[in-house]
Amino acid sequence: MGFLVIDLGTSNCRAVFIDEGGNCNKEERAPVKVSIKGPYAEIDTDEAWKTVCVLVKRLLRNVPSKDIDVVGIGALLGYVYLDSKDQPIKPAFIWMDTRADREALEMTKFFSEDFIYAVTGRRISPELLAPQIRWSSKHDNGVFRKIRRIIGLKDELIRRLTGEIVTDYSHMNYSMLCDYRNGKVDDAFVAWTGLKRYPLPNAVPAQTIIGEVNRSASVLTGLPQGIPVICGTSDGTAAMYGGGILVPNTAVLVSGTTDVLMALTARPLSGCDSLLSINTGMIVDTYAVGGASGLAGGTLRPLSALFGMEVSNLIEQAEKIPAGSEGLLLLPGFTGERSPYWKSYLSGGVLGWTPTHGPAHFTRALFESCSYRILRWLLTLRKTKINIGKVNIVGGGSRINLWNQIKADVCGISLTQPREIEATALGIALLCRLGVDKEALPEKLSESWIVPQCEFSPDERRHAYYGELFALFEHCLENVDEIYWDLEKIQLREHPEQ
C-alpha cells in the first residue's frame, strides 16, 4: 500500500510517495510564489495547480503509478472565492494576509470577544474568513457580489483533481462562522459578513474518501483515473497528526515559517484566557488545542537579506553567542503577533542594540524570542490541566539543533525529534491510511510510524536565566501598543515630498 501526498506550503510545494510503513521514499519539490503587497498576501490558484501537476509528473518517473493506492492533499491555510460556475474569482488569500485588520476589530465590537471565543474556539484575527468576507463586502464589492461558495486553498486543489467540492473540519473552524463544538453554523456571524447564506460546503473528517482522480486531472498529472482521494486538511493540522499528537500526553511543535503547537484533549477547554485556539479533532470526541504564532523560521530569510549572509552562516555564528544574546532582545512578529499574544499590529522590534551586537546576536535573539511564545503556550496548557508529558518537534526549523536546544532551555522541557520531521506529508499519509483501512487504530498507527530519533534536554541554569528574560519580553509586549498604533497612524498619512 502506498500514498501520494501533495504538501503545498508557504515556501515550497512537495509531491511525496509514502509507503504503508510511514517511510517517505521519493519526493519532488518546487518553490511556491506568494504575492505580498503591503497587507495583502495571495497565491494564484492556477499557478499552484500547475506546480502540483509538474511535481506529480516528475514523481511518477520514479514511482510506478500502480503503487499509489490513495492521494491526499495538505496546504497552507487560505481561502478561495468561487463564482456561480464554481470557478475562482480571484487569487486565494492566505494566513499572512492582514487586510481585514479593521474588520476583525469591528467584529469584536459588534459581538464581543468572549462570545466569539465561546462559539468558535478562537480569537478573531484578520486572516480568518469572516473578517475577510466583510472586507470584500466593503472594499471589493465587484468580487463580493460574485461569491457563491468559498472553499479552502487545499479544497481548490481537490476540486481540480476530482471535480468534488468539499471541505474539512479545520477550514470550517478557521471560517469563524461555526460552533466548534458541534459544527452548527452561526447565522448571526454569517449575516455580519454581508452574505445571505453560509458559503462553505459541509465539512467531513480529513480521512474521508471524497472522490477519485478524474479524467482531466489524469491527463495533466499522469495519475491513473480512478485513484481514491481523501478530503485532506490544512498543513498545520496535518503536521500535528504526522508529529504524534495521537500519542497520549504528547504535544507537537511544528517549527517552520511559523511555530504551531497543539495537544489533544477529550474535553472542552476552560481557563486558557482565550489565548489558545480549539480545533475539532480528526478523531471523534477530541479537540486539538494550541496555537499558531506569527513568523518564526520565516524571519530568517529577511534577516539573511538584511545582513547579506547565508542563513547557514548566521546559524553557525549564533552558536558562539551566549544565552541572552548579550543583552539584545527582539520582538519577532514581522507580520504581526498571532497566538499566544494576538496583536496583529505588533510588528518587529529591537531592544538593547549596541555597537557590539552583530548578525550572530540578532540570529540567536530571534531564536530566543520565538521560544518565549512557546513557553507561554505551555504555561497556558498547564493552567487548563492538560497533561503534557513530552513535546515532539518537527518541521523544517527542527533541523536547527541550536534552536531546538534554546527551545528546551527556555521552556524547561525535553524536546524529542522524530526520524521523519516533514510531518505534514506524514500526517496526510496517515490520514490516507485511515481512510482506506477501517481496521487501523489511529494511536497504534501513529506510534508505529513516528519513531524518536534524538532528544534535547533543558539546562536548569539556562532555564532559570531565560525565565527572567521571558518576563521582560512579555512586559515589553504588554506596554508598546500605543507606540505601534501611533506609528501606523503616521505611516497612513500622506508622506512629505522627498
Q: Which residue has the cell 491513473?
A: 224
- Does the 2-231 domain belong in CATH 3.30.420.40? yes
> What is the structure's pLDDT at 462?
98
User: What is the per-residue pLDDT across 5-55, written as a single tens digit (0 to 9) for each?
Assistant: 999 999 899 999 999 999 998 999 999 999 999 999 999 999 999 999 999
Looking at residue 250, its pLDDT comes to 92
Pair type for strands 149-152 and 78-82: antiparallel
**DSSP characters for 71-90?**
EEEEE-SEEEEE-TTS-BSS
Helices (H), 384-422: 401-411
* Per-residue pLDDT reduced to its tens digit, 166-211: 999 999 999 999 999 889 999 999 999 999 999 999 999 999 999 9
> Does the structure show a pLDDT above 90 at 401?
yes
**How confident is the model at residue 493, as a pLDDT?**
80
Q: Higher-confidence residue: 256 or 463?
A: 463
Mean pLDDT of 377-389: 90
Class of domain 244-484: alpha beta
**Share above pLDDT 70 across residues of the chain, in percent, rounded to a whole number:** 98
Do the two domains 2-231 and 244-484 of this chain adopt the same fold?
yes
pLDDT recorded at residue 19: 95
Instruction: Give me the chain's average pLDDT, please.
Output: 94
Q: Where are the domains of the chain?
A: 2-231, 244-484
> pTM value?
0.86
- The closest alpha carbon to 189, from 103, 271, 274, 272, belongs to 103
Q: What mean pLDDT is predicted for residues 96-125?
A: 93
Reply yes or no on whether the pLDDT at 162 is more than 80: yes
pLDDT at residue 497 tops 70: no
Q: Is the pLDDT of residue 459 over 70?
A: yes
**The pLDDT value given to residue 271:** 60
The answer to whether the peptide bond before residue 496 is cis (omega within 30 degrees of 0) is no
What span, in angstroms and rounded, lies between the C-alpha atoms of 402 and 364?
Answer: 9
